[in-house]
Structure 1
Amino acid sequence: MDTQPLYAIKAELFKALAHPVRIRLLEVIAADPDLAAPVSRLLDVTGAEPSALSQHLAVLKRAGVVDSTRSGNAVVYRLTEPLVADLLIVARAFLLRRLAGHDADAGRLAVAQHLPTLPGASVRSVLEAALAESDPVERTAKP
């Protein structure tokens, strides 16, 4: 049994997620009702070179975030847990809330608001939930 502390294991997970292409891959996979996407779609959406895409998917697979199945020449990647999609929704809400609190980030906020919808939440509902908690008076009063 692995006796590595939970926070170290979490850090390894976050390291595996720590690349924009990998986040994009996960969002594409999470947007599918079956939480799956063929490599051909992932190539189209990301515009990544096949070898680079393969390396990113391998990192996610080693981290246990995705797994794959092959049928003939087609390879499909799938989230190992629906919780990964939830993690993406929470991360997006965090991002939107932070951007909404910074006037200088108005352009980035506009871009973030138009990201593709993730399952379980619309971008609008995520933003509304994030903004509901971002009252500047309340934020300054909290320790």
Structure 2
Amino acid sequence: MPARSRTTEPLYRIKADLFKCLAHPIRIQVLEVLAAAGEQSTPVTRLLEVTDCEASHLSQHLAVLRRSGVVTSTRTGNAVEYWLAQPLVAELLVVARAFLLSSLTPDSARLRTAQELPPLPGASPQAILDAIAAKA
């Protein structure tokens, strides 16, 4: 594997910045709500309801996601609506959930809680885990 060079460093930095933007539970929850909405936009009022977050805090989280290019928004009067910037974000969330499920012990209460999370569009985390197991 080639060592990190000056030409590849910016690419790794961009990827690291993406993971930094994802590094908060509220932002992950927002992204999962947007992923579940598919191509439909989601009003900020719905995001406030789901996250139980103060409007000012949610606004800061949404700004991080917008700056990173993970979500886009539109404003009509006082109403602001959000959606995922790319369908690949939803796939990333599915893979992250599969990783979560695979890292929890089978008899764990956290595993049961994770399994009760609302479904995400695309491949199921279990289908990803099954595909990985089949290749092994």
Shared fold, TM over 0.5? yes
Unaligned runs of 5+ in 2: 1-6
- Structure with more of its chain in helix, by fraction: 1
Kept in 2: contact 1:97–1:134 (CA 8 A): no
TM-superposed deviation, 1:33: 2.7
Runs of 4+ deviating beyond 3 Å: 131-135
Partner of 2:13: 8
User: Structure 1 residue 72 and structure 2 residue 74: aligned?
Assistant: no
Partner SS, residue 5 of structure 1: helix
TM-superposed deviation, 1:110: 0.4
Partner of 1:141: none
CA-based RMSD of the aligned residues comes to 1.9
User: Structure 1 residue 46 and structure 2 residue 51: aligned?
Assistant: yes
Whole-Å separation in 2 of the counterparts to 1:110 and 1:20: 18
TM-superposed deviation, 1:36: 2.6
Partner of 1:120: 122
Whole-Å separation in 2 of the counterparts to 1:82 and 1:132: 21
Unaligned runs of 5+ in 1: 139-143
TM-superposed deviation, 1:120: 1.3
Partner of 1:24: 29
Aligned residue pair count: 128
Partner of 1:106: 108
Residues 2-32 of structure 1: per-residue CA shift (max 9 Å, x gap): x752111100010010000000000001100
TM-superposed deviation, 1:126: 1.8
Whole-Å separation in 2 of the counterparts to 1:24 and 1:55: 14
Q: What fraction of aligned residue pairs are identical, expressed as a percent? A: 61
Whole-Å separation in 1 of the counterparts to 2:14 and 2:40: 24
Whole-Å separation in 2 of the counterparts to 1:111 and 1:38: 27
TM-score, normalised to structure 1, is 0.81
